[in-house]
Structure 1
Amino acid sequence: MTSDSEKYWYNLKTGEVEKGYESPAIDRAGPFDTPEEAAKAPEIMRERSRAWADEEARDDAWGPRSEPADDEQ
């Protein structure tokens, strides 16, 4: 297993791919196994964000359980 310090990261500020811990953690996305994967980080993050939003929308569609109306009891 490769240490994260030997993997590739996408620098969110510069848009550059870096190997290891070149930038502060807050500026990095990753780790990725290859520089090609790291270069796709913005696309990967958009896809994951879209998937999370879709999942949350499905969860919200369940809605709160409503209490029966007075005339239904």
Structure 2
Amino acid sequence: MAEDTEHRFWYNLRTGAVEEGMVSLAVDRVGPFATREEAAHALEKLRANSAKWAAEDAAEDR
């Protein structure tokens, strides 16, 4: 069964807006998120993931 992306939420990196469905170009958006609230906090999640991955990479380099 295919994922219903038209009823999911995306964060537009260019405008900072939360969008329902694939409104913007793929290069400008991240997601999908299940709720508008999750999409609104996309940058926080991206920063947290980046920090986690950087720490994991640094630990592997030791």
Compute the TM-score of the two structures, normalised by the length of structure 2. 0.93
1:21 is aligned to 2:22:
yes
* 4+ residue runs over 2 A deviation: none
User: Which SS does the other structure have where 1:18 is aligned?
Assistant: strand
| Greater RCO, 1 or 2 (C-alpha within 8 Å, sep 6+) | 2
Unmatched 5+ stretches in structure 2 = none
2:40 — aligned with what? 39
Please give the alpha-carbon distance, in whole angstroms, between the structure 2 residues aligned to 1:45 and 1:22: 20
RMSD (Å) for aligned C-alpha atoms = 1.2
Please give the alpha-carbon distance, in whole angstroms, between the structure 2 residues aligned to 1:36 and 1:9: 10
Aligned positions, number: 61
Unmatched 5+ stretches in structure 1 = 62-73
1:65 — aligned with what? none
Identity of aligned residues (%): 51
Compute the TM-score of the two structures, normalised by the length of structure 1. 0.79
- The structure with the largest alpha-carbon Rg is 1
